[in-house]
Chain A
Amino acid sequence: MNQWNNFSKGFFKENAVFTLLLGMCPTLGVTSSAIDGLGMGLATTFVLVMSNLVIAIIKGFIPDKVRIPSFIVVIATFVTIVEMTMQAYVPALFDSLGLFIPLIVVNCLVLGRAEAFASKNNIGSSIIDGLGMGLGFAMALTILGSIRELLGSGKIFGTVVFPEDYGMLVFVLAPGAFIALGYLIAFINQVKKES
């Protein structure tokens, strides 16, 4: 049950976006549509799991004073792998996310988990932690993306719900991201309080 706790901690209790407020740059930047949010979330999940795995393996060999540069190199490697793979096999998604993929490197969520969790725990727990945190991040981005896409352009995952002319433009733009995220966090805090 311990591993389940590890997973759910990242997914719900300490959700990166809603509770820890980490990784705000991609959260606000790419969530103008649900599919972009999901793609970004899954890319981050992959990087998180792989870098957590590698860092948990090599943590014993890394001298303390150079651990941050070492972690960043590991993370950057996986981000570049994701970027190249995306460009090769899902060019459409890469077109809309392209600019933000390299930014996963500086997503404080990834380095934060490497530093706070993977460098102190064993391999199994680190993978589960990366998976929980990553999927929690992906879920948050997808929810935020769906809300913004629905309110802004009347679609969810590209399926038309109502004509685009009635959409509120502001939700597609950056201010809409802040507004939607603020209400979402308020709502989640309320739910948490009641339960």
Chain B
Amino acid sequence: MAKTESTLKNMVLTLLVITCVAGTSLGFMYELTKGPIEAAKAAKQQAAIKEVVPEFTNNPGEEMKNFTSKEGFEIKFFPAKKDGVLIGLAIETMTNKGFSGNIRIMVGIKPDGTIINYQVLEHKETPGLGTKMADWFKTDKGNQSILGKHPKKNKLTVSKDGGEVDAITAATISSRAFFDAIRVAFETYTENQSSFTVTSNTSTEEGGTK
């Protein structure tokens, strides 16, 4: 086949056709994968909530509340209730103090603020160093674990900064960022605590009248 000549008309037409075909096929693929992508994200969120709070009977995703922290981050609160009583909160918190980029963490707390568990949702920390935060602060070794601790009663910072938790070896910045995210979650919770206790009170009363 002879090559199409490089006249202006030919070039414009070719590029137009190619980009149109490419655009159409991408639009089609987008529609096709939109559902599964949403489902995958929701499943991940749901799994993270299950991981960090005790067994619940409600749907925390439906009762989700959004609050803005002092830093301007949008913090999502997922109340976990058993038979209408608030037993814990999964808080999707974040920080921009990571070694590279934002870190998003799902942390589960009891209504009084004690940390139950956490899960790292998203980060861009150094592989092999900062990435260890996924398990480090859960491991019961030395002063690593933050589970069962309370941000008010315990000093939840790295030992280098006068705290009582051991930082990840060779990843102090990531560790500090981790505690920053926890702090953001806790502060936002304390500020907006009333909106959760009220809901839990009304639901208990409803349960009582039945």
Task: Give Cα distance in the complex from A61 to B170, angstroms.
Answer: 56
Q: Which residues of B contact A70 (CB under 8 A)?
A: 14-15, 18
For the complex of A and B, list the 9 residue pairs with the smallest distance between their C-beta atoms, beginning with the closest: A172-B128, A88-B36, A60-B1, A63-B6, A88-B33, A65-B6, A77-B22, A91-B40, A84-B33
Interface of A is mostly: helix
Interface of B is mostly: helix
Of the candidates B11, B22, B126, B127, which one forms a contact with A66 in the assembled complex, judged by CB atoms under 8 Å apart? B11
Task: Give Cα distance in the complex from A76 to B23, angstroms.
Answer: 11
* Residue ID in chain B nearest A84 by CB atoms: B33
Q: Which residues of B contact A73 (CB under 8 A)?
A: 15, 18-19, 22
Contact flags A69-88 to B (C-beta < 8 A → 1, else 0): 11001101100110011011
> Is A130 positioned at the interface, with any CB of B under 8 Å from its CB?
no
Of the candidates B2, B22, B30, which one forms a contact with A76 in the assembled complex, judged by CB atoms under 8 Å apart? B22
> Is B124 positioned at the interface, with any CB of A under 8 Å from its CB?
yes
Can you show 19 pairs from A to B with CB atoms below 8 A apart? A58-B18, A60-B1, A60-B4, A61-B4, A62-B4, A63-B5, A65-B11, A66-B6, A66-B14, A66-B15, A70-B15, A73-B18, A73-B22, A80-B26, A95-B122, A167-B128, A172-B127, A172-B129, A173-B127
Q: Which of B126-148 contact A (CB under 8 A)?
A: 126-129
Query: Beyond A81-B26, A87-B40, A169-B128, is A74–B33 a contact (Cβ under 8 Å)?
Result: no
Of the candidates A88, A99, A152, which one forms a contact with B124 in the assembled complex, judged by CB atoms under 8 Å apart? A99
Contact flags B162-206 to A (C-beta < 8 A → 1, else 0): 000000001000000000000000000000000000000000000
CB pair A32 B40 closer than 8 Å: no
CB pair B11 A63 closer than 8 Å: yes
Q: Which residues of B contact A64 (CB under 8 A)?
A: 3, 6
Interface residues of B, count at CB 8 A? 32
Contact flags A137-155 to B (C-beta < 8 A → 1, else 0): 0000000000000001100
> Is B155 positioned at the interface, with any CB of A under 8 Å from its CB?
no
> Is A166 positioned at the interface, with any CB of B under 8 Å from its CB?
no
Q: Which residues of A contact B40 (CB under 8 A)?
A: 87-89, 91
Task: Give Cα distance in the complex from A73 to B20, angstroms.
Answer: 10
Q: Which of B5-51 contact A (CB under 8 A)?
A: 5-7, 10-11, 14-15, 18-19, 22, 25-26, 29-30, 33, 35-37, 40-41, 44
CB pair B44 A91 closer than 8 Å: yes
A75 to chain B, nearest CB (A): 10
Task: Give Cα distance in the complex from A95 to B10, angstroms.
Answer: 42
CB pair A63 B3 closer than 8 Å: yes
Q: Which of A14-39 contact B (CB under 8 A)?
A: 32-33
Query: Beyond A66-B15, A152-B128, A173-B126, is A85–B22 a contact (Cβ under 8 Å)?
Result: no
Contact flags A90-115 to B (C-beta < 8 A → 1, else 0): 01000100010000000000000000
Query: Beyond A70-B14, A77-B22, A172-B128, is A63–B29 a contact (Cβ under 8 Å)?
Result: no
A71 to chain B, nearest CB (A): 9
Task: Give Cα distance in the complex from A85 to B170, angstroms.
Answer: 36
Q: Which residues of A contact B41 (CB under 8 A)?
A: 91
Q: Which residues of A contact B19 (CB under 8 A)?
A: 73
Contact flags B56-70 to A (C-beta < 8 A → 1, else 0): 000000000000000
CB pair A169 B170 closer than 8 Å: yes
Task: Give Cα distance in the complex from A80 to B37, angstroms.
Answer: 14
CB pair A87 B37 closer than 8 Å: yes
CB pair A85 B33 closer than 8 Å: yes
